[in-house]
A = this chain, B = another copy of it.
Amino acid sequence: MDEVFAVIMAGGSGTRFWPLSRSAWPKQFLALADAGSGSAGESLLQQTVRRLQGVVAPDHVLVVTSHRHAQATREQLPELPPGNVLGEPEGRNTAPCIAWAAAHVAARAPKGVMAVLPADPHIADPVAYRAVLGRAIAAAREGGLVTIGVTPTRPETGYGYIEVGEALGAGGVKRVKRFVEKPDLYRAQQFVADGNFLWNSGMFFFRADIVLGELERQLPDLHEFARACQKQLAQGGGADEELVHSRYATLTSISIDHGVMEKAQDLRVVPGTFGWYDIGSWTTAYELAHKDAEKNAVQGEASLVDSQGCYVRGEAGKLIALIGVRDMVVVDTEDALLIMPRERAQDVRRVVEALKAKKATKYL
């Protein structure tokens, strides 16, 4: 456990959960999933950290987020040393974020294993998850770039897929044949029927020395940056601050998927089933929420008359009354209210874009 580090990527902007998520208070800070027992009120980020108990020690958990959210992140995670929260001067996609985190890990343990995890999935079965996590960490310790692939339960078009190849020894580890972008429904159905496709969970596992080697080969500016940080960090905590401030904005902005994984030479996948949900929209939040006999999911004070299938979320001291309303999302905050049919959840960005165009920043 000593040389295992978690790197939690918490850089989300949270457009899809407007008006609850704002630029100042993104998705990972929200308690969007109330399905897990005992997790009521915890934010997605807090759940993600808590889920690592027994696998990664708190002082080995790093969180990379926007510099604007670093303070709030430290407040949500008081068990982490403050220096473990890395505030990016600006978002440059996931590859620079992982390069920076790799420098921090390498400074403490050059061959330390990094479990790179998104801050915001919901995991219904944390016990099964931890077992898969253990297998992925063990696989990464041996080398290569490892990912977790989730056994698909439906032809989901909102996720990317991984086609698996031959088995690699024990522990269910398989070679990755290829990554597939989000498919259309027809292809998604084929993938599920085929049986050789897994959902790409966006969780990656590798040793610091190995990912830095891949960066040197594929994205040399990130490698050079990471090694420079590592050198500074050898001098003591926070010593890379100036370097990050001056260099971060110039780094190649690319995802770890496109920048590293797709052209990596040794890609492995650990299949798993642990009730994994990417909470990508209010629709998913509704699906995960506790529902009453009329299929309404209500948080806050509400009076529902002849209404079914609604997701209603208000704040304390405010009553939300619905009469004859079906399958709608109603999210009410102090200064903004969103109403839409559940199936229109993908269009929340249109409101956010309209607000940006109007420069109505106070609502963003």
Contacts and interface: CB of A to CB of B under 8 A. Distances in A.
Nearest to A336: B319
Given A303-B351, A323-B350, A318 B340 contact: no
B337 A323 contact: no
A30 interface: no
B317 A347 contact: no
Contacts of A322: 339-340
A332 interface: yes
B341 A305 contact: no
Given A303-B354, A303-B355, A318 B344 contact: no
A344 B323 contact: yes
Contact of A338 (B321, B347, B348, B351): B321
Given A19-B321, A305-B354, A360-B319, A339 B328 contact: yes
Contacts of A324: 340-341, 344, 347
B318 A338 contact: no
Size bin of chain A's contact surface: 35 or more
Contacts of A328: 325, 339
A332 B325 contact: no
Given A306-B344, A318-B335, 11 more contacts: A19-B319, A303-B351, A303-B355, A318-B337, A319-B335, A321-B336, A321-B338, A321-B351, A323-B339, A324-B341, A337-B337
A244 interface: no
Given A319-B360, A319-B363, A363-B319, A339 B325 contact: yes
Contacts of A330: 337, 339
A314 interface: yes
A292 B338 CA distance: 20
A264 interface: no
A320 interface: yes
Contacts of A337: 314, 318-321, 330, 332, 337
A323 B348 contact: yes
Contacts of A320: 336-337, 339
Nearest to A317: B335
Contacts of A336: 318-321
8 contacts: A319-B335, A319-B337, A320-B336, A321-B339, A324-B340, A324-B347, A332-B332, A332-B337
